[in-house]
C-alpha cells in the first residue's frame, strides 16, 4: 500500500512540482521581503507577521490533500467493502506518502530558505552564530510538523464530506477559525474562558507560540524600543524578548517542547479520527448497499 500511495503521488507530477516550487519560490520571496529584520519593535512585529504568513500558507496549502482523497475514494471504498485491506494500513500509507512528499519536504525547503534570509536568531548581517543554530533546526521542525498535522486534518475532513467542494469549504472554515484563535489576530488576554479552551485545540496556536518562544524566549539578542515619555522620544535598549511575549499573550512559563509535544499529539489524534471515519463513516452503509444489490 505504501508503494502504491507513493506511486500515486509521483504520478501527479503537477501537484508534487507545484508544492516544491511554491516552497522554494515563496521562501525566497518572503525571506527577501522580511530580509534582516532589525531588533526593534517594528522588527518584532515583522517577525510575528512572518510567522503568521508561514502558518497561514501551509495551513491553506494542506487543502490540496482533499483532491487525492476524492480521486481515490471509489477504489478505496470497494477495497474496504470487499476486505482487501483494513482502514488502518490505508490511512497509514496515505498519510506517509502525502505528508512526506507534499507536506514535509516543501515546508522544510520553505523554512530552510526563509529563516536565514529573514535574519532570525543565529543568522544576521554580521554572520552566523553557531550557538544559536539549534533554534534554526527547531524552527524547521515546527514548520514541518505543523504542515503534516494540517495535511492530516484536511484528509480527515475530506473523509467525512460527501464531495470535494463540501470538504474544501469545511476545511477552509476550520483553518480560518484556527487562525483566528491562534493568538495573533485576537490577543488571548481578551478571550473568554470558553474561547481559550478552543484555542488550545488549534494546531495554529501551538505552532505560532512555539515559533515565538523559539525566537524570543531567552534570546541572546537585545532589543531596542523607542517610546514617548512626557512629550519626548526616548530609546529603551537591552530589552529582553520576554517583554514582547507578554504583550502577545504567550505563556512565558511554557516551553517550545511543550507546544511541539501538544502539536505532535494533535497530529496523532487527527490521524486516529481519520482512521475512525474511514473505517466506520461510509463503509458500513456501502456494505449494506452491496447486500441489497446482491
Residue 287 has a pLDDT of 45
- The whole-number pLDDT of residue 288 equals 41
- Report the sign of the C-alpha dihedral through residues 155, 158, 164, 170, in that order: negative
pLDDT digits (tens, 9 = 90+) for 105-138: 999 999 999 999 988 876 765 566 767 788 899 9
pTM over 0.85? The answer is yes
Beta bridge partners of 235: 226
First to last CA, the chain: 29
Judged on CB neighbours under 10 Å (0-12, 13-18, 19+), 197 is exposed
The whole-number pLDDT of residue 278 equals 84
Residue 253 pLDDT exceeds 80? yes
SS3 category, 189: helix
Segment 194-214, tens digit of pLDDT: 888 888 889 999 999 999 999
Mean pLDDT within 27-55: 88
Amino acid at each position: 500500500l505504501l508503494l502504491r500511495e507513493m506511486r500515486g503521488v509521483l504520478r501527479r507530477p503537477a501537484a508534487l512540482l507545484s508544492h516544491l516550487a511554491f516552497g522554494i519560490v515563496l521562501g525566497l520571496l518572503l525571506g527577501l521581503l522580511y530580509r534582516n529584520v532589525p531588533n526593534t519593535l517594528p522588527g518584532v512585529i515583522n517577525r510575528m507577521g512572518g510567522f503568521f504568513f508561514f502558518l497561514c500558507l501551509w495551513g491553506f496549502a494542506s487543502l490540496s490533500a482533499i483532491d487525492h482523497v476524492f480521486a481515490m475514494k471509489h477504489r478505496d471504498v470497494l477495497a474496504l467493502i470487499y476486505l482487501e485491506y483494513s482502514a488502518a494500513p490505508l490511512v497509514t500509507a496515505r498519510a506517509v506518502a502525502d505528508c512526506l512528499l507534499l507536506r514535509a519536504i516543501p515546508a522544510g525547503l520553505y523554512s530552510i530558505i526563509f529563516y536565514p534570509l529573514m535574519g532570525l536568531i543565529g543568522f544576521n548581517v554580521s554572520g552566523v552564530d553557531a550557538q544559536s543554530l539549534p533554534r534554526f533546526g527547531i524552527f524547521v521542525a515546527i514548520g514541518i510538523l505543523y504542515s503534516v498535522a494540517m495535511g492530516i486534518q484536511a484528509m480527515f475532513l475530506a473523509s467525512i464530506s460527501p464531495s470535494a467542494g463540501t470538504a474544501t469549504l469545511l476545511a477552509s472554515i476550520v483553518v480560518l477559525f484556527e487562525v483566528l484563535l491562534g493568538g495573533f489576530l485576537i490577543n488571548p488576554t481578551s478571550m473568554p474562558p470558553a474561547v481559550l479552551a478552543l484555542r488550545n485545540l488549534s494546531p495554529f496556536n501551538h505552532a505560532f507560540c512555539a515559533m515565538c518562544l523559539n525566537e524570543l524566549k531567552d534570546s541572546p539578542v537585545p532589543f531596542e524600543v523607542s517610546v514617548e515619555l512626557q512629550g519626548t522620544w526616548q530609546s529603551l535598549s537591552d530589552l529582553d524578548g520576554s517583554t514582547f511575549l507578554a504583550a502577545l499573550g504567550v505563556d512565558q512559563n511554557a516551553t517550545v517542547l511543550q507546544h511541539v509535544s501538544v502539536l505532535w499529539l494533535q497530529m496523532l489524534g487527527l490521524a486516529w479520527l481519520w482512521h475512525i471515519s474511514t473505517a466506520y463513516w461510509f463503509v458500513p452503509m456501502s456494505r449494506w448497499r452491496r447486500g441489497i444489490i446482491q
